[in-house]
């Protein structure tokens, strides 16, 4: 029995994780495996109830879990807080660091059924299917930070070790081998020493993966290419800050922010979450799109070894999109509720098994 820790978090987090759990339970029943679910607090929810965005109990449970599903963190009432114990995103950064979730994977694929919603022209996004491997526990996010005594100067150190680069590059190379054997390193090696170490390290590793064609793009160019010719990409590997910006940029080109899952692999376990935020305006309205979270749950099932169930969930999402059983972001004329979308996908997952049996 696999043990899944659910961290609903803030805003729409609780609503969308309920739907993902519903679909995972349907998948477990349909495909004949057992899952147990445990819950813990993170983000604003934890600040309010425990006085800390990442309570010790949450870390203890995360440590024991086979995989973690997270909703979202962040509430506007905490915007501008200086005390780290009152900043919801410190829960997220904290769990990434504590669990050493060093590799964040964000797949970007186009759904034909919603590509008319993309801000880009159809001929530009056609054929887009790539994945960003973002380093998640190093770089400027976690370097030393501070202010000078007079408060007039601030700094955030950026440092990377060969080990930190190698462990994520290995996963990116392996993904390139599963795809079309193309790997792109996005960096700023014309300016930054850390980027030069990334280039040296990732280039040296190419010897172990001789079939992979390694290419390089400066991050500013890569950011332009994502909107000019996104179909050129296959696997992109990059450091933490560049990866944050590039993946958030990439997430909007598919037509809805509510469609993109993510996985963060660590040393011991992995965490799965939608790429979008906590969308507090929609909180409690049963209107937010649960698909990114449900797709994250599919990635989770794949990670713990239930590939068939994961595929069934992805196929069920395709059916929901084709039949327009979608929330307001995708079907504004006849929107379905968050829970109705979850119900439909769960039913489809059941049906996928009976179809095979008959
Ligand atoms: C993300 C988010 C986080 C990040 C924030 C909430 C700290 O933007 O996961 O992309 O910057 O990593
Ligand atoms: Mn981001």
If 0-12 CB within 10 Å is exposed, 13-18 middle and 19+ buried, where does residue 211 land? exposed
Q: Which residue do the tokens 């007039």 mark? A: 152
Mean pLDDT over 18-44 rounds to 98
Active-site residue flag, 141: yes
Q: Which of 89, 91, 248 for a ligand 1 pocket mutation test, highest count of atoms within 8 Å of Cβ?
A: 89
- What letter does residue 4 receive in the DSSP assignment? E
235-238 vs 270-274, strand pairing mode? unpaired
Indicate the pTM of the whole model: 0.95
Q: In 10 A of CB 125, how many CB atoms?
A: 20
Decide which of 354 and 63 is more confident. Answer: 63
Q: Are 313 and 261 in contact (CB under 8 A)?
A: no
Instruction: Give me the pLDDT at residue 355, please.
Output: 60
Q: State the average pLDDT for the chain.
A: 96
Contacts of 209 (CB under 8 A, 6+ apart): 173, 176, 177, 183
Distance separating the N- and C-terminal Cα atoms of the chain: 28
The 10 Å CB-count burial string (b at 16+, else e) for 259-281 is bbbbbbbbeebbbbbbbbbbbbe
* DSSP H or E stretch at residue 221: helix 219-228
Tokens of 202: 């990732």
Tokens of 217: 């793009």
* DSSP H or E stretch at residue 173: helix 162-178
For residue 245, the CA-to-ligand 2 centroid distance in Å is 6
pLDDT digits (tens, 9 = 90+) for 109-136: 999 999 999 999 999 999 999 999 999 9
Instruction: Give me the pLDDT at residue 358, please.
Output: 45
CA distance 249 to 119: 11
Q: Which of 10, 70, 93 for a ligand 1 pocket mutation test, highest count of atoms within 8 Å of Cβ?
A: 93
pLDDT digits (tens, 9 = 90+) for 130-157: 999 999 999 999 999 999 999 999 999 9
Q: How far apart, in Å, are the Cα atoms of 326 and each of 155, 199, 245, 276, 343?
A: 45, 43, 27, 17, 11
pLDDT digits (tens, 9 = 90+) for 221-247: 999 999 999 999 999 999 999 999 999
Instruction: Give me the pLDDT at residue 284, please.
Output: 96
Q: Which residue among the candidates 220, 268, 285, 356 is catalytic per the annotation?
A: 220
**Domains within the chain, CATH numbers bracketed:** 1-99+269-358 (3.40.718.10), 108-256 (3.40.718.10)
Question: Please, which pLDDT band fits residue 28 given cuts at 50, 70 and 90?
Answer: very high
Instruction: Give the number of the atom of ligand 1 that is nearest the alpha carbon of residue 136.
Output: 12
Mean pLDDT over 192-216 rounds to 98
Ligand 1 pocket list (CB less than 6 A)? 89, 92-93, 244, 248
- What letter does residue 174 receive in the DSSP assignment? H
Mean pLDDT over 200-220 rounds to 98
Instruction: Give the number of the atom of ligand 1 that is nearest the alpha carbon of residue 96.
Output: 12
pLDDT digits (tens, 9 = 90+) for 280-311: 999 999 999 999 999 999 999 999 999 999 99
Question: Please, which pLDDT band fits residue 353 given cuts at 50, 70 and 90?
Answer: confident
Q: Are 164 and 102 in contact (CB under 8 A)?
A: yes
Active-site residue flag, 244: yes
CA-nearest residue for atom 2, ligand 1, is: 244
213-218 vs 261-265, strand pairing mode? unpaired
Active-site residue flag, 180: no
Strand partners, 275: none
CA distance 227 to 99: 33
Q: What DSSP string runs through 245-301? A: HHHHHHHGGGS-GGG-EEEEE-SS-EEEEESS---GGGTTSS-S--HHHHHHHHHHH
Question: Please, which pLDDT band fits residue 356 given cuts at 50, 70 and 90?
Answer: low
């Amino acid at each position: 029995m696999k043990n899944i820790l659910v961290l609903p978090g803030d805003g729409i987090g609780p609503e969308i994780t309920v739907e993902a759990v519903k679909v995972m339970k349907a998948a477990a029943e349909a495909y004949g495996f057992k899952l147990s679910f445990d819950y813990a607090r993170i983000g604003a929810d934890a600040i309010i109830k425990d006085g800390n965005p990442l309570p010790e109990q949450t870390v203890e449970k995360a440590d024991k879990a086979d995989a973690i599903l997270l909703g979202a963190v962040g509430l506007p009432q905490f915007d501008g807080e200086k005390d780290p114990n009152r900043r919801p995103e410190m829960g997220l950064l904290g769990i990434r660091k504590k669990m050493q979730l060093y590799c964040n994977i964000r797949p970007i694929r186009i759904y034909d059924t919603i590509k008319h919603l993309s801000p880009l022209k159809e001929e530009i996004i056609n054929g887009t299917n790539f994945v960003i491997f973002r380093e998640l526990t190093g770089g400027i996010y976690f370097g030393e930070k501070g202010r000078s005594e007079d408060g007039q100067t601030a700094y955030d150190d950026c440092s990377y070790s060969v080990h930190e680069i190698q462990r994520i590059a290995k996963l990116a190379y392996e993904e390139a081998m599963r795809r079309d054997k193309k790997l792109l390193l996005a960096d700023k090696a014309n300016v930054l020493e850390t980027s030069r170490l990334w280039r040296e390290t990732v280039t040296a590793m190419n010897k172990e993966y001789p079939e992979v064609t390694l290419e390089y793009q400066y991050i500013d160019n890569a950011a332009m290419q994502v909107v000019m010719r996104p179909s050129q990409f296959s696997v992109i590997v990059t450091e933490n800050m560049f990866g944050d910006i590039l993946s958030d940029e990439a997430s909007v080109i598919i037509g809805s922010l509510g469609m993109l899952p993510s996985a963060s692999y660590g040393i011991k376990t992995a965490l799965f979450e939608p790429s979008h935020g906590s969308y507090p305006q929609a909180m409690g309205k049963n209107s937010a799109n649960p698909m990114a979270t449900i797709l994250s749950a599919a990635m989770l099932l794949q990670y713990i070894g239930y590939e068939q169930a994961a595929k069934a969930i992805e196929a069920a999402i395709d059916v929901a999109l084709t039949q327009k059983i979608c929330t307001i972001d995708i079907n504004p004329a006849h929107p379905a509720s968050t829970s109705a979308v979850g119900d439909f996908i769960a039913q489809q997952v059941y049906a996928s098994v009976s179809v095979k049996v008959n």
